[in-house]
Structure 1
Amino acid sequence: MVWHYSSNGTFSGRSAYHLALSRASSAGSSSMSTRSKVWRAIWQARVPNKTKVFSWRAIRNILPTAQNLQRRVALSNFRWFVIAAQFSSVEDWLSHLSAQLSATDFDLALMICWSIWWSRNLKSVGKDFLYPQQVIDFARSYLSAYNSYSSVPAHSPLGIQSVWLPPPPNCVKLNFDGAVLEEGRAIGVGVAARNSAGNLLAWRSLRLAQGGSALVAEAYAAREALKFAWHHRWPLVLIEGDCVSLLHRISAAHMDYSVVGPLVSDIKALVHKFESVSFLYVRRSGNCVADFLARLALNLDGDVASLPPGLHNVLIGDLAK
């Protein structure tokens, strides 16, 4: 199957976006100019992709809100609040914000909107939620962390983060790394989960019998990090590694038909289970704990249960940097 609206014949969100704009424009929509501006502002915002998707769904009124769900099924304890406002729609409101705010403040506004949505979802399932000021503080810290980390370098890793940095509050960062035994006879997987204080929450050091290249080992490690996070029910996670090639493959919209393709597909499928997942790139010097655990696994048989000697010193070294 070929997508005829991109140069390489592969479907992408960007090509679909431009196709939708061109078709709406040719249809003579009176609101096309405004819609184009607000969509462009959202597309160019320096926020996580999930926040852009959330904003787009809010504009289209296709978020699974109680009001929208009530149209499909009868909900018990259904309530909604009507708020008087000068804007007739979310699109008009976001258009106003994009015109009045600086790019940085508009990014923060989108992040706050997503954070409110995320917090309300937690409340709807009986979990702890954030109060208004906590929502704003969380949005600021999350956006700051997102912009501080470079998720995937486009070409050279020069100037990219080279030390381990803690995640924002209420978020867990999982560093992963893979190692290969000589002649590719086995793979070692290392995963370390830490919170905003730098405390080690959990870790994994696992030897896999199958062989493979360094890229395959990294893919197994990334998949293990997501499975590990899902096992612990952490809804908001950052997955950080030092393999540029793998991170590019994970972020790509098209199918990967290489030897790591099935693993990349598994990783993308696991991502959808979480409230929020972001992939980050760090130099090897900032991935020491996961590297230690991956290499440790090569000298062991199976999983490691007790805290290995030397791990504490590596953790202290990360924080000292």
Structure 2
Amino acid sequence: MSQVYKAVYFSHSSLWEAKKGGRPSYAWSSLNKLAGFWKRIQRGFSKVVDSQTLAQFCTLCYIFWEARNALIFHRAAPRLELLLAREASLLVPPATRPPMTSTWSPPGTDIIKMNFDASWRNNAASGYACVGRNTEGEIMAAATAPLMADFSPLLAEASAFKWSIGLAMDLGFWRVCMETDCLSLYQAWHKKEVGCSYLFLILTDCRLLAPGFAYFDVSFVKRSGNKVADYLGRHSEAFGQTVWIEEVPHKG
């Protein structure tokens, strides 16, 4: 039910910034009265704590109330990691949808753009590919690697992301922009949610590696702007684990 409320009433804001809206349900009208309560608390405690701390406190109270109801009515024992993930989803606004860029664009000065992709063949992941280009569009390096694990499409893209970060480090590219054509991966990265799934574990590893760069960013481009990495990924089984410096293999 909480997901329905978020989708209908505050899909682009937090719970505490939600408006009552037109023709709200009785349940939502009651919940929305928390906004007035929130404002009174904020006025009273504004000189004691900052608004962010207060928002976190009120959100935790709401989450504990949800957990209490789940325990009493559904016999569902609360789990700390799920409570923290719930807090993050309420406090952090959804990631901004990226511009739908259809063509490859050059990175900034002294930055290497690493376009990566995970390829699928016969409904199974087959390999990774990555292409690094400078601000002039010149290819600085390219690489492929076969993928032996049985991953879902999103996990394969996340694994390719982590592999490409390691590749950039090995090549000595310390100012990079990692670019993907997987919108779900891009949004998962920028939401910075907490979780225990394999996807979140992979992204956590990537977040630990990112501070090792002098510059690190993640961007999105449509598949039409990621053609080179897509081609290399589809032929990664034939190329094997290979790295090309300042070139890519020609179509044969």
Residues 169-248 of structure 1: pairs in structure 2 closer than 5 A:
169-184=109-124, 186-248=125-187
Partner residue, 2:227: 288
In the TM superposition, residue 23 of structure 1 has moved relative to its aligned partner by: 10
- Partner residue, 2:4: none
Secondary structure of the residue aligned to 2:224 is helix
For 2:226 and 2:45, the matched residues in 1 are separated by: 47
Take 2:250 and 2:169, find their aligned partners in 1: how far apart are those partners?
Answer: 27
Q: Which amino acid aligns with 1:308?
A: P
Distance 2:186 2:43 in 1: 32
Three-state SS of the structure 2 residue aligned to 1:309 is coil
Contact 1:250 1:267 in 2 (8 A): no
Structure 2 unpaired stretches of 5+: 1-13, 17-41, 52-93
In 2, Cα distance between the equivalents of 1:268 and 1:231?
17
Alignment partner, residue 47 of structure 2 = 26
- Percent identity between the aligned chains? 28
What is the CA–CA distance in structure 2 between the aligned matches of 1:278 and 1:251, rounded to whole Å? 10
- Please state whether the residue corresponding to 1:165 is helix, strand or coil: coil
Q: CA deviation at 1:192?
A: 0.4
**Cα 1:167–1:228 shift into 2, 3 Å:** same
Question: For residues 98-132 of structure 1, what are the alpha-carbon distances to aligned partners after superposition, in whole Å with 9 as ceiling and x for unaligned?
Answer: xxxxxxxxxxxxxxxxxxxxxxxxxxxxxxxxxxx
Asked if the contact 1:180/1:213 (under 8 Å) is kept, the reply is no
1:309 matched to 2:250? The reply is yes
| 8 Å Cα contact 2:95-2:190 kept in structure 1 | no
Change (3 A) 1:249 1:28: closer
User: Matches of 1:202 and 1:28 in 2, distance apart?
Assistant: 51
SS for the counterpart of 1:198 is coil
Alignment deviations for residues 126-148 of structure 1 (CA, whole Å, 9 cap, x no partner): xxxxxxxxxxxxxxxxxxxxxxx
SS in 1 for 2:218: strand
Residue 115 of structure 2 aligns to a residue in which SS? Answer: strand
SS of structure 1 residue aligned to 2:169? helix
Deviation of the 1:194 alpha carbon: 0.4
Conserved 8 A contact 2:126-2:146: yes
Provide closer, same or farther for how the CA distance between residues 22 and 253 of structure 1 changes in structure 2, counting only shifts above 3 A.
farther
Which amino acid is 1:252 matched to?
A: K
Structure 1: 5+ residue runs without aligned partners? 1-5, 9-20, 33-151, 312-321
SS at match of 1:272: helix
Shift of 1:169: 1.2
Aligned to 1:168: 108
Kept in 1: contact 2:158–2:199 (CA 8 A): yes
Alpha carbons of structure 1 residues 305 and 250: separation in structure 2 relative to 1, 3 Å: closer
| Length-normalised TM-score, structure 2 | 0.59
Q: 2: distance between equivalents of 1:293 and 1:204?
A: 8
Contact 1:160 1:283 in 2 (8 A): yes
2-side partners of 1:246 and 1:7: how far apart?
25
TM-score (norm 1): 0.47
Greater strand fraction, Structure 1 or Structure 2: 2
Where relative contact order (Cα < 8 A, 6+ residues apart) is larger, the structure is: 2
